Structure 1
Amino acid sequence: MMNQDGYLSAVLGPAMHDLAAAGFGALDDLAMYAEGGLPARVVDVIPDVAVSRGVEITGDDRVGAELDRLKVLPALADAWRWARLTGGGAIVVIAKDGRALRDPLNLESLDRLEELKVFTLDDVSATEKRYSDPNEANFGMPEVYRVRTQTPGAVAAEFFVHESRLIEVPGDPLPAKLNRKGIPWAGRPAVTRAFRAIRRYGEGLHWALRLLEKKQQAVHKMKGLAEAIETQLEHVVRKRVEMVDAVRNALNGVAVDSEDDYQILSSDMGGVKDTLAEFQIAVAAETGIPVPQIFGRSASGLNATGDGDLEGFYNTVAMGREVKINPALERLVSLIRAQRGLATAGDGQGEAWSITWPALKPATAKEGAEVRKTLAEAQAREMDALSGAVDNGLSQDQAFRYMKQEGLYGLIPDADGQSAKSYAAAT
């Protein structure tokens, strides 16, 4: 009976150890993200695109400089990416208000917002201190959170922060009975199933590469091979195989003994490309991001432009932005406006303000002209109707108040009487 170990040693030699060491190592989600590449792109692309074109705070032009100073948009993008990766993100507001972090934020003495620090859901846990008044909307909600800092090369530390100083970006919806952390805004990661699909795609690439390596397989029929192995002459066999391979690589030809035989067998690669394409579609299906945006591929097919995929992707980004980061941004803007320097500024800035995000897809010159034309025609019809209403008994004062309320012709709506501090407290 032939010695199997001797056969492997004779034919493979040192390559046997390399083959044993090869394999597809299973990494957890955080490790996959840390390596970058496709897993990181799946997590990052939606938050990064969401804030890529900036934001405008309509009605108060003082806020823009503060957004830049505090790096609000990068903080929101980071909090959203950690929410996608771990199930939640948190922004801790470092404020100069005369109180400690574990105390409620003092809006009356809010002098300045100093910094925004972003943490993942894994860094945050709820303490046992919760709101206990059943008549309040926050009944049972955590009042103080424990936050752990994990700086590389430093000893892990923790601090306590009051919920009024923490702005959450929730994960995807999760039934309350499955919430193990006791944090009401904790959700499920958005990319868990996507990472499984990415692992399958990675395995597909791995085996496709192995198949490509073996596409042309050399078969060397050697007289006396079994006898040489039985007499422990593996090194002689190995030397003979290496000589044949070396000659083939150098001269693209092989010389063998008349009683030996040497053949090259070519494997069929058909279907591999289609299989990998299906793996890519599976990744796109699990992430909700079209294949061109994930893999950088152009749309294929007759008359394919990819505009439909891009439009769907932008709709996904806009919907997530509205749900995930708009509430956090509204809270931050209200805190910025409640700062002592802005809240007492006597420059006539009204209390009416709104968040305006630019279109994710910039309009072409032609599209912009068509939009302006449509708006102008609609405004002309509205003014004709308003003029007719004045002719039929509507007073000019009433017409003016309507135009001001709608913000027509550059008129600024009246403030609703709510101060920046009271609005910040309400949000």
Structure 2
Amino acid sequence: MNEDGYLSAVLGSAMLDAGAAGLSGLDDLAMYAEGGLPARVVDMIPDTAVSRGVEITGDDRVRGELDRLKALPALADAWRWARLTGGGAIVIVAKDGRSLREPLDLEGLVQLLELKVFTLDDVSATEKRYSDPNEANYGMPELYRVRTQAAGVPSAEFLVHESRLIEVPGDPLPAKLNRKGIPWAGRPAVTRAFRAIRRYGEGLRWSLRLLEKKQQAVHKMKGLAEAIEAQLEDVVRKRVEMVDAVRNALNGVAVDSEDDYQVLSTDMSGVKDALAEFQVAVASESGYPVTSLFGRSAAGLNATGDGDLEGFYNTVAMGREVKINPALERVVSLIRAQRGLERQGKGQGEAWSISWPALKPATAKETAEVRKVNAEAEAREMDALSAAVDNGLSPEQAFAYMKENGRYGLIPNPSGQSAKSYAAET
């Protein structure tokens, strides 16, 4: 039997394209560029981390500068590239009278102009490294080579001094596996998640094929083999297509008395459960709850999904402390070291700190309960402080204690490093 003739006669243009690759033929960057589930896995943690802003307590001058520089979007972008490629870098473009390849001049820092974000793939370390074994930066790169890429513009490279680069590291990686020579280079956080997404995509593709072929028509024709041998494939194909064209739920199918025509229904049981397990695998590899990643409702009796959200928020908060806070501290210290803000602060090292709002906004009832508990705790503390004064603690000592802890509107005495010295150290 001529196999090609059989395929042409019976399957024709309806033959499935078995070579369709789907997501399996794309690399990680291409998958991310297509958006959808791969982009959601990369973006959801960084975007959630900065979604409610940040407060710099102790220095109200910084907030406007963070907005001007678009610092939070830059930090989120650097973190997302760290999750995708193993590291992100923010290059500081500053007005300090020096070029990018020279150390940042904190004494001459007039203004920060821009924060430009690059992926680890765009950054490489040069051979110029710190060589003093007595310093903490011994062996660290002093200069980095950064490659720029833009649509319609040829790629170009420039050198940047490490004092003008703020890194957001990837996930931990053993030093012997770090082949880029960059100390803060790590592993991508989504490699295994993307593999699970590819498997999930394959599952969706095959389930769609099963659905397309859920009702399979079987047409038994007398003399089919002889017709194919006689190269009458077109006649056979026309006969099959005529039957398929008239078949629907409202009419019957007429065939020759010696022919037979049946419609076989494929069992679809188990497909839904298999796809659900693929979703669980994607969520497990990416560190997200299934309810958040796929928009599914929590399952089970009295299930609210609060536990899933709490676990997700804990993951975001932990990553924010490790990935964003060190970079944000560096940005804030440089903002405060600018000539204009330094003069406003008279060069003092005011105490300041980074304060992130809660990822889950509290309800009015929860806020009232927290205020009640705090008020009761402060009342007990004041009773204890009054008792201490009655038993020998001087009023001056009690006042100093309340001021040191910022109670009742008292402002603690300024302490700490100057903005320039802190920026230099960080």
Same fold at TM > 0.5 = yes
Show structure 1 runs of 5+ residues with no match.
none
Aligned mates of 2:89, 2:19 — CA distance in 1? 41
| Percent identity for Structure 1 against Structure 2 | 84
Deviations 1:64-114 (A, max 9, x none): 100100000000000000000000000001000011101110000100000
**Which residue in 1 is equivalent to 2:198?**
199
Name 2:54's counterpart in structure 1. Answer: 55
Give 2:33's aligned amino acid. A
Partner of 1:151: 150
Q: Does structure 2 conserve the Cα–Cα contact (< 8 Å) formed by 1:60 and 1:350?
A: no
Aligned to 1:318: 317
Query: Which runs of structure 2 are paired with 1:348-367 in the superposition (5 Å)?
Result: 351-367=350-366
**Aligned partner of 1:380: which letter?**
A
Amino acid at match of 2:302: N
Distance 1:374 1:350, change over 3 A: farther
Output the CA distance in 2 between the equivalents of 1:91 and 1:19.
45
Q: Deviations over 1:344-367 (max 9, x none)?
A: 115898611110000000000110
Secondary structure of the corresponding residue to residue 42 of structure 1: helix
Aligned to 1:254: 253
- One-letter amino acid of the counterpart of residue 98, structure 1: G
State yes or no: 1:385 paired with 2:384: yes
Is the Cα–Cα contact under 8 Å of residues 219 and 263 in structure 1 kept in the other structure? yes
Q: Partner residue of 1:68?
A: 67
| Conservation of the 8 A alpha-carbon contact between 1:59 and 1:349 | no
Q: Secondary structure, in 3 states, of the residue corresponding to 1:156?
A: strand
User: Which residue is 1:307 aligned to?
Assistant: 306
Instruction: Go from structure 1 to structure 2 and tell me whether the alpha carbon gap of 1:23 and 1:143 turns closer, same or farther (over 3 Å shift).
Output: closer
| Partner Cα distance (1:360, 1:371) in 2 | 16
Provide, for residues 106-138 of structure 1, a one-character-per-residue CA deviation record: whole Å limited to 9, x for no partner: 000100000000000000000011111100000
Which whole-Å deviations, capped at 9, do the CAs of 1:250-292 have from their partners, x for residues lacking one?
Answer: 8542111111111000010010001011111111111110001
Structure 2 distance, partners of 1:64, 1:252, is 72
Greater shift in the superposed pair: 243-252 or 330-339:
243-252
Q: In structure 2, what is the equivalent of residue 91 of structure 1? A: 90
Q: Which moved more, 1:397-406 or 1:138-147?
A: 397-406
Structure 2: gaps (5+ residues): none
Q: Which residue of 2 aligns with 1:187?
A: 186
> Aligned with 2:100: secondary structure?
coil
SS at match of 1:139: coil
Report SS of the residue matched to 1:211: helix
Structure-2 separation of matches of 1:349 and 1:55: 23
1:19 shift after superposition: 2.3
Letter in 2 for 1:315: N
Distance 1:304 1:393 in 2: 56
Counterpart secondary structure, 1:403? helix
The separation in 2 between residues aligned to 1:45 and 1:232, in whole angstroms, is: 59
Once the two structures are TM-superposed, the CA of residue 15 in structure 1 deviates from its matched residue by: 2.7
In the aligned structure 1, how far is the partner of 2:38 from the partner of 2:416? 48
1:14: which partner in 2? 13
Aligned pairs for 1:23-42 within 5 A = 23-24=21-22, 25-42=24-41
User: Which segment drifts farther, 362-371 or 414-423?
Assistant: 414-423
CA–CA distance in 1 between the matches of 2:258 and 2:348?
98
Task: Find the aligned partners of 1:136 and 1:273 in 2 and give their Cα distance.
Answer: 60
Q: State how far apart, in whole Å, the 2-side matches of 1:282 and 1:256 are.
A: 49
Against the structure 1 CA distance between its residues 95 and 3, is the aligned structure 2 distance closer, same or farther, given a 3 Å change threshold?
same
1:200-219 aligned within 5 A: 200-219=199-218
Q: Secondary structure at the match of 1:107?
A: coil
Q: What is the aligned partner in structure 1 of residue 424 from structure 2?
A: 425
Give, as a single letter, the amino acid of the residue that structure 1 aligns with 2:197.
Answer: I
After TM superposition, what 4+ stretches of structure 1 lie above 4 angstroms from structure 2?
Answer: 346-350
2:78 matched to which residue of 1? 79
The one-letter code of the counterpart of 1:75 is A
State the distance in 1 between where 2:282 and 2:363 align: 32
- Matched with 1:280 is 279
- Return the offset for 1:192: 0.3
- The separation in 2 between residues aligned to 1:110 and 1:166, in whole angstroms, is 15
CA contact (8 A) 1:51 1:73 kept: yes
What one-letter code is carried by the residue in structure 2 that aligns with 1:15?
Answer: A
**TM-score, normalisation: structure 1:** 0.97
The answer (yes or no) to whether the contact 1:59–1:350 under 8 Å persists in 2 is no
Which secondary structure state, in structure 1, belongs to the residue aligned with residue 64 of structure 2?
A: helix
How far 1:23 moved relative to its partner? Answer: 3.8
- Cα offsets for 1:288-323 (capped at 9, x unmatched): 100011111111221111110000000000000000
> Is residue 347–residue 419 contact of structure 2 (8 Å, CA) maintained in 1?
no
Contact 1:94 1:116 in 2 (8 A): yes
1:350–1:414 CA contact under 8 A, matched in 2? no
Equivalent position amino acid for 1:5 in 2: D
Q: Name the amino acid aligned to 2:51.
A: S
Equivalent residue, structure 2, for 1:128: 127
Residue 14 (structure 1) shift: 2.3
Distance in 2 (alpha carbons) for counterparts of 1:360 and 1:404: 30
The CA distance in 2 between the partners of 1:348 and 1:394, in whole Å, is 36
Contact map agreement 1:130 1:143 (CA 8 A) in 2:
yes
CA deviation after TM superposition for structure 1 residue 22, in Å: 3.2
Rounded to whole Å, the distance in 2 between the matches of 1:119 and 1:334 is 21
Once the 2 structures are TM-superposed, how far is the Cα of residue 403 of structure 1 from its aligned partner?
1.0
Check conservation: 1:60, 1:349, Cα contact below 8 A: no
Alpha-carbon distance, 1:249 to partner: 3.9
Q: Which amino acid aligns with 2:36?
A: G
Residues 141-181 of structure 1 deviation map (CA, whole Å, 9 limit, x = unaligned):
01110000011221000101111110000000001111101
> Structure 1 residues 185, 252: closer, same or farther in 2, change over 3 A?
farther
What secondary structure does 1:108 align onto?
coil
Q: Is the 8 A contact 2:349 2:418 kept in 1?
A: no
Name the structure 2 match of 1:335: 334
The answer to whether the 8 Å contact 2:91/2:116 transfers is yes
Q: Determine if contact 1:90/1:121 at 8 Å carries over to the other structure.
A: yes
